[in-house]
Amino acid sequence: MNQLLLIRSLFVLHFIWFGLLALDAQTVHGVVTNEEDYILPGAQVYFPGTGIAGFADSMGGYRLPWQEGQDVPRLLIARQVGYAPDTLLIDGPGYVHIRLQTDANLETITVRDRREAQFVDDINPVRTEVVSALELQKGACCDLAGCFNTNATVQKNVTNVITQAQELRILGLSGVYNQVLVDGFPVVQGLTYTYGIGDVPGSWIENIYISKGANSVLQGYESISGQINVELREPQPGEEGRHPDVFLQAYANSFGESQINGIFEQSGDEWANALFIHTTQPAQRIDRDEDGFLDLPLVTRYSLADRFVLGNTQSIGLSVRAGFRLLGVERTGGQTGYYPDEHAGDDVVYGQWVRYTQPELWTRTAYRWRDNQRIVLLASGILHNQRSWYGLLHYTARQETMNAALQYEWDPKPTWRLKSGISHRSHVLRETLSFEQNPLALSQGGDYTREDQVTGVYAESVSEFWDDRLTWILGARLDHHQQFGEIFTPRSLIKLDLWEGSSLRGSIGWGWRTANVFSEQIVLLAGNRDVLIDAGLKPEKAMNWGINFSQRFYLGDMVLRWGADYYQTRFSNQIFPDFLQDARTAVVANFEDPSYSRAFQTDLDLTPLSGLQIKLAYNFLDVYRVDEGERLDLPFNARHRLMGTISYATTDSRWQGDVHAHWYGAMTLPNTSGNPEPFQRPEESPDYTTLTAQLTFRSGAFNIYGGCENIFDFRQKQPILGWQDPFGPYFDTSSVWGPTRGREFYLGVRWNWK
């Protein structure tokens, strides 16, 4: 209690102090873009001869103090690699949009794009890895789940091999503990968590922002291990009457699965619109394991989305960003002879079938009445309807989620910025579990309803000291849950630039969330264990702290970046299925004994030659909990992991080759010693290596690419525990520690007409 009181006091004193220091300082601020209005993060902006300088942030924004009493007009210069410097005459403070023209005499612009395909944002106080569309094109990247093959921070994990339910882990913790946002809005949660990361097409993505540990409180209270913010391609206002931009992509793999994606953009002087289409068609029925089960599910997906942009967020007046998505998905897996229309719910042929529809709406509406003040309304809504069969279990669910926040943004000084607001979240989940037949006498049948009504207030300040070398973010939320009352969530992040090219960051923060038991623990639906749920489940709560250091070196034309970080997470309450009390039972209850994640990562990015990029990374994970004094390592986490990637593009960028390799050390596996011998598994998995290669050819608007994933064809054979008796008590589809699809060839083509 004393610690909490101290944190609250520091938080209040911080805002009082800077509130007293806030003066009516005026600034020159705006955004730096190219001639097509694409943002240019990292551009240098300065007043020559004054020592006043800065760099554009990750969104292209810059801000410089305006000192009265100096001669006007004053020169303002902007520079960026690959672009001609621009010099402007400034008469006074205010908004200035700087557009840099491509320097035709510089051949390094292509090199710059390749170097920044994936990078750590040196400006953001929060350590943020930026994965751009250029990086995503180094692999198949069919969906969000497959977009992290060249990233060491995020690990994809399969939670149900039959329908390919997947999650994204950070710091070795379940994906429920990191926030997955789409354009800053929480989309992957509750029912949408089970398959949501597979429903975002990779070709729609412009950038992915990845951060570990404690993050901003602006997006809510749920982020514990990190945050993944997916930025979809946003249309840009242009000339009135300009022809539409068209992007088309077609893809197919050796399993027979195919995709088609399209983006159609139209713009005017003050508005822009983009229409997105997507379809996935199912693979063939393949059973290389000869266990009678499909090696991969049959997935049919249709998705239609639209994004609309009106006005400029940096200009005085109204600006609107809005969009919708309509999603329809069907997944079928199980024994090779399973057809849902014939076998759903019977005990002759085992299968799993999932069908759902999901409409979404969101808007970000802002009004700026001064250069340094604006108010923003953020609102989103999701409706998810699902019907499914998991063997003999019939599962239907409906989720209604609405999020809204009214946020005030004030920049009184170049060295201090404040955002504060009020928010409300409504999350209603209704689930029905029933059995066509119930030979194992499982007790989890019935109706389940979960409701969260959470209203909160929040504030976050960004303060800069020592000529912008030290940046401190302090934020906090106070939320009221209709059942659990008030919960306080403080977070603090700091960044220090020690010397040129270096950044030292530290963070500490608390987070909490309420568990959606069945949708987040798909093993409870897909397996045949009896499920016992404690009626008094409390919110999951954890504290995370971390420190990281990065250094960038310039050795002639060679650029080298080295980084290392360490993060620790400690839960004060955690909810997970306990399979150890009884081999046939899963107990879901509060776990208030110590539970830890300790994660270390070091990585090296090197560009020794023009067009050549090499990346190496090492991860160490120590994830465990203490139960009655005994340490229990959590399963499916490789204690040691290595990643290496090589990318080379010719000078004219017509040809590009990419290779990446992953080595996974041994993983602790779930304890199956209580099962009969035919249904037992080893305590540890073997270590293994995967290798993927891709070749890309570019010619004008066309881009043809092809490659092979898992070249060595390593796979976990017969990953389904108890496949011999799928209606028996030891059937388990969650014991997946390695690849199950084997070697996969693919071919794709992109056409981008502007």
Instruction: Count the alpha carbons within 13 Å of 371 in the hemisphere toward its beta carbon.
Output: 23
Compute the distance between CA of residue 530 and CA of residue 585 in angstroms, rounded to an integer.
5
Q: What is the pLDDT of residues 285-310, one digit of tens each?
A: 999 988 999 999 999 999 999 999 99
pLDDT at 471 over 90: yes
Compute the distance between CA of residue 540 and CA of residue 378 in angstroms, rounded to an integer.
26
Contact between 507 and 533 (Cβ < 8 Å): no
Q: Which residues contact 103 (CB under 8 A, 6 or more apart)?
A: 82, 83, 84, 109
- The beta-strand segments (E) located in 414-501 are 416-435, 446-465, 470-481, 485-496
Q: What is the pLDDT of residues 668-683, one digit of tens each?
A: 998 888 888 888 889 8
Residue 273 has phi, psi (to 5 degrees) of -145, 145
Supply the pLDDT for residue 35.
74
From the CA atom positions of the chain, what is the Rg in Å? 26
* Burial of residue 94 (number of CB atoms within 10 Å: 0-12, 13-18, 19+): middle
Nearest partner of 611 among 558, 550, 564, judged by Cα = 558
Contact between 118 and 131 (Cβ < 8 Å): yes
Supply the pLDDT for residue 245.
87
List the strands of the sheet with 52-55, edge to edge. Answer: 52-55, 44-47, 74-79, 86-90
3-state secondary structure of 542: strand
Contact between 374 and 368 (Cβ < 8 Å): yes
The average pLDDT across 511-522 equals 94
Compute the distance between CA of residue 191 and CA of residue 399 in angstroms, rounded to an integer.
7
Q: Which residues contact 175 (CB under 8 A, 6 or more apart)?
A: 157, 167, 168, 169, 193, 197
Instruction: Work out the pLDDT band at 569, boundaries 50, 70, 90.
Output: very high
pLDDT at 450 over 80: yes
Supply the pLDDT for residue 17.
38
Which tokens go with 211? 């951060």
Compute the distance between CA of residue 166 and CA of residue 158 in angstroms, rounded to an integer.
4
Question: What is the sign, positive or negative, of the torsion defined by CA atoms of 637, 638, 640, 641?
Answer: negative
Supply the pLDDT for residue 611.
82
Instruction: Work out the pLDDT band at 648, boundaries 50, 70, 90.
Output: very high
Going by DSSP bridges, is the β-strand pair 226-232/178-182 parallel, antiparallel, or unpaired? parallel
pLDDT at 738 over 50: yes
pLDDT at 243 over 80: no
Contact between 455 and 406 (Cβ < 8 Å): no
pTM attached to this predicted model: 0.85
* Burial of residue 398 (number of CB atoms within 10 Å: 0-12, 13-18, 19+): middle
3-state secondary structure of 692: strand
3-state secondary structure of 197: helix
* Burial of residue 174 (number of CB atoms within 10 Å: 0-12, 13-18, 19+): buried
Q: Is pLDDT larger for residue 201 or for residue 61?
A: 201
Angle made by CA atoms 685, 691, 693, in degrees to the nearest 5? 160
Supply the pLDDT for residue 101.
81
pLDDT at 104 over 60: no
Contact between 202 and 136 (Cβ < 8 Å): yes
Contact between 364 and 321 (Cβ < 8 Å): yes
Task: Provide the mean pLDDT of the chain.
Answer: 88
Contact between 205 and 223 (Cβ < 8 Å): no
Contact between 294 and 285 (Cβ < 8 Å): yes
Q: Which residues contact 97 (CB under 8 A, 6 or more apart)?
A: 30, 31, 33, 312, 314
Which tokens go with 360? 């979404």
Supply the pLDDT for residue 684.
92
Going by DSSP bridges, is the β-strand pair 470-481/165-170 parallel, antiparallel, or unpaired? unpaired
Q: In Å, how far are 94, 257, 370, 416 from 411, measured between CA atoms?
A: 13, 50, 10, 6
Q: Which residues of 599-627 are buried (b: 16+ CB within 10 A; e: fewer)?
A: bebbbebbbeebbebbbbbbbbbebbbee
The average pLDDT across 363-376 equals 93
Q: Which residues contact 439 (CB under 8 A, 6 or more apart)?
A: 347, 392, 727
3-state secondary structure of 177: helix
Supply the pLDDT for residue 161.
92
Q: Distance between terminal CA atoms of the chain?
A: 60
The residue type found at 493 is L
Which of 106-110, 622-626, 639-643, 662-666 has the lowest average pLDDT? 106-110
Compute the distance between CA of residue 340 and CA of residue 343 in angstroms, rounded to an integer.
5
8-state DSSP, 242: P
Instruction: Work out the pLDDT band at 28, boundaries 50, 70, 90.
Output: confident
Alpha carbon 1 to its chain's center? 34
Number of residues in the chain: 754
Please count the helices (runs of H) and the strands (runs of E) in the chain: 7, 40
* Burial of residue 724 (number of CB atoms within 10 Å: 0-12, 13-18, 19+): middle
Helix (H) / strand (E) element for 252: namely: strand 245-253
Q: What is the pLDDT of residues 59-90, one digit of tens each?
A: 677 878 776 655 566 788 888 866 778 888 78
pLDDT at 106 over 70: no
3-state secondary structure of 64: strand
pLDDT at 586 over 80: yes
Task: Give me the domains of the chain, ranges plus CATH numbers.
Answer: 154-158+177-415+430-753 (2.40.170.20)
Per cent of the chain over pLDDT 70 is 91
Instruction: Work out the pLDDT band at 480, boundaries 50, 70, 90.
Output: very high
Angle made by CA atoms 520, 174, 547, in degrees to the nearest 5? 145
Asked, as a colleague might, if the bond just before 577 is cis with ω within 30 of 0, I would say no
Instruction: Work out the pLDDT band at 592, boundaries 50, 70, 90.
Output: very high
Question: How is 90-108 classified by DSSP, letter by letter?
Answer: E-SSEEEEEEEPB-TT-TT
Beta-bridge partners for 553: 560
Compute the distance between CA of residue 142 and CA of residue 171 in angstroms, rounded to an integer.
24
Which tokens go with 573? 């309450």
The average pLDDT across 248-257 equals 96
Q: In the block, which residue shows the tokens 């056409």?
A: 751
Supply the pLDDT for residue 583.
65
Contact between 535 and 516 (Cβ < 8 Å): no
Question: How is 351-419 classified by DSSP, letter by letter?
Answer: EEEEEEEEEEEEEEEEEEEETTEEEEEEEEEEEEEEEEEETTEEEEEEEEEEEEEEEEEEEEETTEEEE
Nearest partner of 707 among 668, 739, 666, 744, judged by Cα = 744
The average pLDDT across 16-34 equals 56
Q: What is the 3-state secondary structure (H, E, C) of 5-57?
A: HHHHHHHHHHHHHHHHHCCCCCEEEEEEEECCCCECCCCEEEECCCCEEEECC
Instruction: Work out the pLDDT band at 115, boundaries 50, 70, 90.
Output: very low
